Amino acid sequence: MPHRRAHLKLVGKAHRGVLRGIERLNINDNTFLIIMAAFIGVFSALCYAFFRVSINAMEKLFFEDIFNHLGISYDFPGRLLLFFIPIIGALLIMPLIVRYPKEASGYGLPGLLENVIFKNAVIPPKVILLRTLTTSVTLGCGGSAGREGPIVTIGAALGSAFGQFLKLSGDRMRILVACGAAGGIAAAFDAPIAGAMFALEIMLLGNLAVYSFSPIVISAGVATVTTRAIFEKDIEFTVPAFTMVSLNEFYLYCILGIITGLVAVIFIRLYYHITDRFDRAQIPVWQKVLLGASLLGAIGVLFPQVFGVGYKWMNEALMGNMALYLMLALVFLKMIATAVTLGCGLSGGVFGPSLFIGLMLGGSFAAIVNMILPGTVHEASYAMVGMGAMVAAASQAPLTAIFLLFEMTGDFNIVLPTMFACMISVSMMKILKQESIDMVPLTRKGYKFSGGKDVTVMQRLKVRDVETKNCDAIPESMSFRQIQMLIARSSQMDFPVLDQDGKLVGIISFQDIRKVIFEEGLDDLIVARDIATTDLITVKVDDTLQEALEKFTIRDYDHLPVVESDGTLHGLISRQKILQAYNNEIQRIALQGG
């Protein structure tokens, strides 16, 4: 115990020394963030390198070495051994999944986004190790998922760890987290621009500012250079040259965009349908994990192409070595396998499966076109554009998808067809009112997104936090004379009207009083219910301020009644208090960021 205490004192002293050293450098805030972004880029690339090597080593062990050692081929009945590989992987990481379900299991990006957008962006450093271990084993043992989502989470956790060590808060912490995410994507695809766009479109909800943009670009660039230094030209994903036979193909790319948008909607809804079934199952976590691993193994026995990240089979499809029926089947089998893998609690992402599904869909579409009109299109080109369109639709991040395809191919000619397909696929998602695969869990919690920071601020604040509870209310039988006396001593401008049971039945404003105040002889003849407006617009105590403000635009009142679910009056809320609460929250965020 004394040794541990002495160790902690030494670490604390070193920590304070580092902070004092940074203060003595006297560098401005933007320069400081750029320096931190460069460090985060390096560490994100190193984590990706370890992550990639770990997955490849696990795949080689389970899908090559074991089969070679036992002298078993992939033909039946030897292929039945594939059924047990996901189960073995699940058993290996079961203790971590049961002990750390939030940090180590499932698809972690929605939870990360909630933390970054709505909370303080503080991510436990243990996430780095837990996600690396669980995802490496999951994918190495055949889990049908992507490694890009976890590397984003790992990179974001690295950025948060730097911020916590340097005692940053607010916007600066979020920028470092976004730098880690950008570094992770840039390292995974050797695509720095796509990495930066991913951080801006998804992690920061499209809030582009020079203050945040510069560090993010630096992190993505440094991560790319570091990855190239480690792996040189060892690229796992090979893309052929883009070819466009005729300008008339733009019509076909538009059709592909429509189809991809529809398939993306099916993918998202099927994914959450299966995930919800696992969540509602009244069985222990370990049983859910083993059930999912068994289902995945059963699919993989018949279609081993769904196992793992799937880059090998994507390359086969791009080279034209895959039959049409198999590509079509894999579009839907990959959806199911991914949902089962992540829904049961195994770890991974959905970015890679989106690429896989889009590639198989684009390749299938082009193959069908060539069956109808032989030699019309280059199938591999449609497969590549299909990848971009699916990522754009599923993640609702079209810029990320467009730049990703451009950087992967290095061919500017692919940009225009990709733009057509991506924007149309995203538009289909909007038309069908489908949230992105990352945002569905957040919208289920009541968050709404309109592409701006202001909306997210208003979504954090509730009516119950700013309403006036002790307001003057009027019984419906109160005479007009008594109403005038009440108004004279009250500071309110609008008055709820209650029936004998205390339920809200109307509201009286100065506009209503003005109609009869100059009429003589009515003081004791008219009662509250005669002049009250009964066509009510009310808000609930758990509504957000965004929802309340939208209701103010329907009718020009200064106040709206706040009611319980049974119609009982709870208080009043004013337009002025909403704006005041909004301004206070903006100032609080600015102070945290400063």
Q: What is the pLDDT of residue 15?
A: 47
Q: What is the pLDDT of residue 265?
A: 96
Alpha carbons 215 and 180: distance in angstroms, whole number: 10
Evaluate whether 591 touches 582 at the Cβ level (below 8 Å): no
Q: For helices 311-318 and 379-395, give the axis angle rounded to 10 degrees.
A: 140
Mean model confidence pLDDT for the chain: 82
Cα atoms in the Cβ-side hemisphere of radius 13 Å centred on 350: 29
Q: What is the pLDDT of residue 355?
A: 94
Q: What is the pLDDT of residue 485?
A: 79
Lowest mean pLDDT among 182-186, 340-344, 384-388, 448-452: 448-452
Higher-confidence residue: 579 or 158? 158
**Can you spell out the DSSP letters for 195-209?**
HHHHIIIIISTT---
Residue type, 165: F
List C-alpha distances in Å: 210 to 30, 34, 156, 216, 506.
Answer: 10, 12, 20, 10, 50
Taking domain 11-231, whether its CATH number is 1.10.10.10 is answered by no
User: What homologous superfamily is domain 249-451 in, according to CATH?
Assistant: Clc chloride channel (1.10.3080.10)
Q: Reply yes or no on whether the pLDDT at 341 is more than 90.
A: yes
Cα atoms in the Cβ-side hemisphere of radius 13 Å centred on 54: 18
Evaluate whether 268 touches 396 at the Cβ level (below 8 Å): no
Q: Reply yes or no on whether the pLDDT at 557 is more than 50.
A: yes
Reported pTM: 0.77
Alpha carbons 227 and 235: distance in angstroms, whole number: 11
For 227-240, the pLDDT digits (tens) are 989 887 666 667 78
Asked whether the domain spanning 249-451 has the same topology as the one spanning 11-231, the reply is yes
Q: Reply yes or no on whether the pLDDT at 594 is more than 50.
A: no
Domain map of the chain by residue range? 11-231, 249-451, 461-593
Q: What is the pLDDT of residue 252?
A: 93
What percentage of the chain has pLDDT greater than the value 70? 84
Q: Where are the alpha helices (DSSP H) in 190-248?
A: 192-198, 210-231
Nearest Cα to Cα of residue 388 among 406, 409, 402, 407 = 402
Phi, psi for 235 (deg, rounded to 5)? -95, 125
For 201-211, the pLDDT digits (tens) are 887 765 655 55
Q: What is the pLDDT of residue 209?
A: 57
Q: What is the pLDDT of residue 7?
A: 46
**Can you spell out the DSSP letters for 535-550?**
S---EETT-BHHHHHH
Q: What is the pLDDT of residue 8?
A: 42
Residues in the chain, total? 594
**What's domain 461-593's architecture?**
Roll (3.10)
Token representation of residue 509: 């404003």
Alpha carbons 426 and 154: distance in angstroms, whole number: 28
Higher-confidence residue: 446 or 371? 371
Alpha carbons 149 and 88: distance in angstroms, whole number: 23
Rounded mean pLDDT of 150-172?
Answer: 83
Q: Reply yes or no on whether the pLDDT at 441 is more than 60.
A: yes
